Amino acid sequence: MKTTKILDLKRKKNVIILAHYYTLSEVQDIADFVGDSLALSKKATETDAEIILFAGVHFMAETAKILSPHKKVLIPDINAGCSLADSCPAEQLELFLKDYPNHKVLSYINCSAKVKTLSDIIVTSGNALKIVNALPKDEKIVFTPDRNLGAYINKETGREMVLWNGACHVHDQLTAEEVYKLKAKYPNAKVLAHPECKATVLALADFIGSTAAMLSFTKEDTANEYIVATETGILYEMEKQNPAKKYYVVNNPETCSCNNCEYMKLNTLEKIYNALLTESPEIILEEEVMSKALISIQKMFEY
């Protein structure tokens, strides 16, 4: 019922619905496009819809607005934030950067529009290694906001990027002990991990990558079982792609029963319907912020 009403409104108002893999399965089902943050940001530049409804979190909808400033960008719940983006307030970063003149500032896309204005290049978990490897070997770099992704890039590239001390509460809470427990229970399972996890978890992974990269890996790979160290929403697409395979998500029993990003789960069908009906909440950004932030995002697309 709600789904039909959403689809009707979507057609009438020429809306594209973009959704991240971490959203609820019923939200992924009504979306025009489901992807990781890299694919979603590309999609936002390509659409000719008049309205973008972003079922994801605030920084993702902001990125879509910066890339399509003349379109209306809606987010079903304005409180869908991101602990990682929140761990790097722009004012504090501005002060921090004063200690690092002559450094390029690389920021993971999980940051506010204001942090993007302080950055030279934006990266996602899908392209960070490629971009860092393409920079001159002697380039001095400050990496924000994720210390885990930054440490992973340092390890893989042999760089010594200065790291902002931020993290995602969903990924950073996962422990090697929990991975070991699952490995003991399912000895034939391969371990997949998102690079926002701690180094101790990444050290146990057979494959490390963005949500889209993990999905491509499991699609092609011949194993039948996987231990998945990321947010649970990804399991919906994994199971759709390969229903015969088994997936075990890593949880932290002390902090949660299930590794959900509560911000992503704020995107419900009810709120999507209301957002389409009222055309709000809308993402509004200052012109100056948008034009400055666009430079660092566009730089990412050059690589």
Shorter beta-carbon distance to ligand SF4: residue 9 or 195 = 195
Per CB under 6 A, residues contacting ligand SF4 are 57, 82-84, 110, 168, 170, 231, 261, 263-264
| SS3 track for 15-52 | EEEEEECCCCHHHHHHCCEEECHHHHHHHHHHCCCCEE
Residue 158 phi/psi, 5-degree rounding, is: 75, 15
Shorter beta-carbon distance to ligand SF4: residue 9 or 66 = 66
Q: Tell me how far apart the alpha carbons of residues 263 and 12 are, in angstroms, rounded to a whole number.
A: 28
Which amino acid would we find at residue 90? Answer: A
Q: Tell me how far apart the alpha carbons of residues 108 and 115 are, in angstroms, rounded to a whole number.
A: 10
**Least distance CB 170 / ligand SF4 (angstroms):** 4
Q: Is there binding between residue 211 and ligand 13P (CB under 6 A)?
A: yes
Rounded to a whole number of angstroms, the CA Rg of the chain reads 19
Which amino acid would we find at residue 194? Answer: H
**Least distance CB 124 / ligand 13P (angstroms):** 5
Scanning residues 88 to 107, which ones bind ligand 13P (CB under 6 A)? none
**Least distance CB 271 / ligand SF4 (angstroms):** 17
Q: Is there binding between residue 110 and ligand 13P (CB under 6 A)?
A: yes
Shorter beta-carbon distance to ligand SF4: residue 57 or 105 = 57
Taking alpha carbons only, the member of 135, 138, 137, 136 closest to residue 123 is: 135
Residue 227 near residue 205 (C-beta atoms within 8 A): no
Q: Tell me how far apart the alpha carbons of residues 249 and 235 are, in angstroms, rounded to a whole number.
A: 8
Q: Which of 37, 119, 232, 259 is in the footprint of ligand 13P by CB under 6 A?
A: 37
Site track 115-134 with ligand 13P (rule: CB under 6 A), x = hit: ---------xxx--------
Shorter beta-carbon distance to ligand SF4: residue 264 or 272 = 264
Residue 263 interacts, among ligand SF4, ligand 13P, none and using kind-specific CB cut-offs from 5 to 8 Å, with ligand SF4
Q: Is there binding between residue 63 and ligand 13P (CB under 6 A)?
A: no
Which amino acid would we find at residue 129? Answer: L
Which amino acid would we find at residue 6? Answer: I
Residue 36 interacts, among ligand 13P, ligand SF4, none and using kind-specific CB cut-offs from 5 to 8 Å, with ligand 13P
Site track 162-201 with ligand 13P (rule: CB under 6 A), x = hit: ------x---------------------------x-----
Shorter beta-carbon distance to ligand 13P: residue 81 or 89 = 81
Residue 125 interacts, among ligand SF4, ligand 13P, none and using kind-specific CB cut-offs from 5 to 8 Å, with ligand 13P
- Strand partners for 131: none
Taking alpha carbons only, the member of 228, 196, 233 closest to residue 214 is: 228
Residue for token pair 């491509």: 216
**Least distance CB 55 / ligand SF4 (angstroms):** 12
**Least distance CB 20 / ligand 13P (angstroms):** 6
Burial of 4 (0-12, 13-18, 19+ CB in 10 A): exposed
Angle at 170 between CA 225 and CA 289, to 5 degrees: 125
**Least distance CB 182 / ligand SF4 (angstroms):** 20
Judged by the rule CB under 6 A, the positions of this chain that interact with ligand 13P are 36-37, 110, 124-126, 168, 196, 210-211
